[in-house]
Amino acid sequence: MGKLQVPKGAIIGIGELTPVRYSEGVTTLGLIAESVRLAIQDAGIEKDEVDGLLVGPQVGETPQHVPATVAEYLGLEPTMSNVVDLGGATGAGMIWRAVAAIEAGMCETVVCVLANINEKGKALRSPNRNPIREFDVPFGASGANTSYALLKQRHMAEYGSTQEDFALIAHWARKNAQLNPKAITYGKPASVEDVLNSPLIVDPLHLFEIVMPVAGGAAVVVTSAKNASKGGHPPVYLLGAGEKITHRAVSQAPSLENAPLSYAIPRALEQAGLSVQNMDLLSIYDCYTSVVAQTLENAGLCAPGRFGSWMKEHSFGHDGDWPLNTHGGQLGFGQADLAGGMSHIIEAVHQLRHEADLRQIPNARHALITGNGATLSEAAALVLGVEL
Amino acid sequence: MIEKFENLTVPGPTITPITKPFWDAVARKEFILQKCCDCGEWVFYPRSHCPHCWSDQLEWKPASGEGTLKTWSIVHRPGHPGWAEVTPYVLGIVELEEGPSMLTHLLVDSDQKLKIGQPLKVKYIKCNDVWLPFFESKE
């Protein structure tokens, strides 16, 4: 592979709603509009400067024509728009696609937005008629908890990793969330024992190892590198990206240990011309503890199967040697559907702009962001930095 | 242990014209898989094209109905409420002797010690009026 060119784009605006456990009287389109309004305001640009729009799929509310529906709702007339549908990797997948569209000359300033409602007692189910619905669900395997439990069990049986090892990840997420007043677990720290004492939902996964679904939204404004200094904040540049899909259903995963992140992360670092050792923040997708475990191993921070002993040797707060998910991660912050994946990008921008208040990482210059969709199926990684 | 599944109100398979021979065979208590006539690979789940070489020449063949355990989980709170009656229950991914993997329901006690590589064999169970290929320990 020849030397990869660094992309020429930057994040100049972010908007994020404070997660709420259950929403009432709001719509997904409404949450999208509020997220976008906040992001444009943060960028210090006018609405009419937006000529690109990336949105997520909307289960239940707008099954088709999603970009047109969102554009109409917002009064935008984008010259580039699309749905990005990569589950938890959607947010990260949007950022490089926005830059790619700008580099292709299709637009100059792109809004990437994800949001969802969460109404009490109402599950957003999609009426699937696809292979996972036909060949996994009938055996009693509905939902992501089962799939991630299968992956965690495999790690434990293969490598001898322990429940305490995984609980440490949830503990750090909750601990970091105590410095983020927007986090859904703010004021609710959890010790390793608390995690282990929380109910087993799908053995070996405990309740506190699983993200809490919330309502919320997030939007990010991306523009060209040459325009990036126009905004009201220091630009945060995209330095590298990597992405890969390997399967949909966990039963069809080509490997239960080697997730597609093991391609996406090194690829993003190579494009940035940096190593994982250069990263000041690990903003690692964490729908479940086991995803963080596998991501740390896929990033080459420790040998396969060794995350537990590695974690015991390091510290993961903003003032630690490996700041990890300083906003609390989704385990601490809450998962507003696909916007949960965007929270890792929003936090990286806060840190790289040096506006993270009590949880600011000293001299933060580079961040690694990962996204993970389905069951370690859809992977995206980004390297963000304060200069090109 | 086996009768308890018959009256569950749970979602059954969403059968397509491509996959119907598999489910018809299961209802006859036969385990068949597709095999690619061009590259010789076995295929599961059933498809119109071989995922290895994209040949459309896939042939149904009798298969062993045996395999080994890759991983498992014990469901205490199921994703579909219809399964709540039989919790806790065990799900597993089986690597079939022919090569492909499938997810299935394991007919083992939830406190039974399981391990990677454990031999398993198919056991046909009627669940909500549909026959499904569950698996049990081979020994």
Q: Per-residue pLDDT for A56 more than 70?
A: yes
Q: How far is B15 from chain A (nearest CA, A)?
A: 7
Average pLDDT over residues A1-18: 89
Nearest residue of chain A to residue B130 (CA atoms): A138
Q: What is the pTM (predicted TM-score) of this model?
A: 0.95
Starting at the earlier edge strand, list the strands of the sheet with A281-283.
Answer: A80-83, A52-55, A109-116, A216-224, A9-16, A236-245, A378-385, A366-373, A281-283
The answer to whether the Cβ–Cβ distance between A138 and B80 falls below 8 Å is: no
Task: Report the pLDDT averaged over residues A70-78.
Answer: 95
B115/A256 touch (CB, cutoff 8 Å), yes or no: no
Give the pLDDT of residue A2: 66
Computed from CA positions of residues A205, A209, A211, A212, in that sequence, does the dihedral angle turn out positive or negative? positive
List where CATH 3.40.47.10 sits in chain A. Answer: 9-121+215-238, 142-211+240-385
Over residues A248-267, mean pLDDT:
94
| Mean pLDDT over each residue of chain A, to the nearest integer | 95
Contacts of B10 in chain A (CB under 8 A): 138, 140
Show residues of chain B in contact with A136, CB under 8 Å.
103
Q: What is the mean pLDDT of residues B76-98?
A: 96
> Based on C-alpha coordinates, what's the Rg of chain A?
19
- Does A139 contact B91 at a Cβ distance shorter than 8 Å? yes
**Using CB atoms and an 8 Å cut-off, which of residues 99-158 of chain A contact chain B?**
128-131, 133-146, 149-154, 157-158
Between chains, do A154 and B116 touch, taking CB under 8 Å as contact? yes
Contact A257, A33 (CB under 8 A): no
Mean pLDDT of A125-142: 86
Question: Do B76 and B70 meet the contact criterion of CB atoms below 8 Å apart?
Answer: no
Query: ipTM score here?
Result: 0.93
* DSSP symbol at A204: T
**B115 burial type by CB count under 10 A (0-12 exposed, 13-18 middle, 19+ buried):** exposed
* Contact check, Cβ <8 Å, A150/B73: yes
Cβ atoms of B79 and A142 within 8 Å: the answer is yes
For the residues B110-129, what does the mean pLDDT come to? 94
With bands split at pLDDT 50, 70 and 90, how would you rate the model's confidence at B110?
confident
**Token match 């169970």: residue?**
B125
Name the residue in chain B with its Cα closest to that of A247. Answer: B51
Flag if A153 and B102 touch (Cβ within 8 Å). Answer: no
Phi, psi at residue B11, to the nearest 5°? Answer: -70, 130
- Say whether pLDDT at A177 is over 60: yes
A247 touches chain B (CB under 8 A): no
Overall fold of domain B65-139: OB fold (Dihydrolipoamide Acetyltransferase, E2P) (2.40.50)
- In sign, the C-alpha dihedral spanning A108, A342, A72, A41 is negative
In the structure encoding, which two tokens stand for residue A127, read together?
């009426």
Residue A1 has pLDDT above 60, yes or no: no
Chain B nearest C-alpha distance from A4 (Å): 30
Give the model's pLDDT for residue B84: 95
**Given this model, what pLDDT does residue A5 score?**
87
- Please count the residues of chain B: 139
User: From the centroid of its chain, how far is CA B6?
Assistant: 17
- Give me the residue from A200, A205, A256 closest to B71, CB to CB: A256
Tokens of B84: 């709540």
Least confident of A158-167, A189-198, B106-115, B120-129: B106-115
Phi, psi of A203 (to 5 degrees): -55, 130
CATH superfamily for A142-211+240-385 is Thiolase/Chalcone synthase (3.40.47.10)
| Conformation bin of residue B130: beta by default, left when phi > 0, alpha when psi is -120 to 50 | beta
**CATH no. of A9-121+215-238:** 3.40.47.10
Residue B139 confidence class, pLDDT cut points 50, 70, 90: confident
User: Which A residues, 251 through 270, put their C-beta within 8 Å of a C-beta on chain B?
Assistant: 251-253, 256
Cα separation, A335 vs A210, in Å, equals: 10
Per-residue pLDDT at A362: 97
Residue intervals of chain B classified under CATH 2.40.50 are 65-139
Of B91, B103, B105, the CB nearest to A249: B103
Backbone angles phi, psi at B22, to 5 degrees: -65, -50
| pLDDT, position B94 | 98
Contact A145 B77 (CB under 8 A): yes
Q: Which carries the bigger pLDDT value, residue B111 or residue A321?
A: A321
* Cα A166 from Cα A207, distance rounded (Å): 12
pLDDT the model gives residue B132:
98
Nearest by Cα to B32 from B98, B77, B81, B82 = B98
Tell me whether residues A134 and B132 touch, CB distance under 8 A.
no
Residue A126 confidence (pLDDT) above 80: no
pLDDT band (50, 70, 90) for residue B112 = confident
Q: So what's the pLDDT on residue A43?
A: 97
| pLDDT value of position A144 | 93
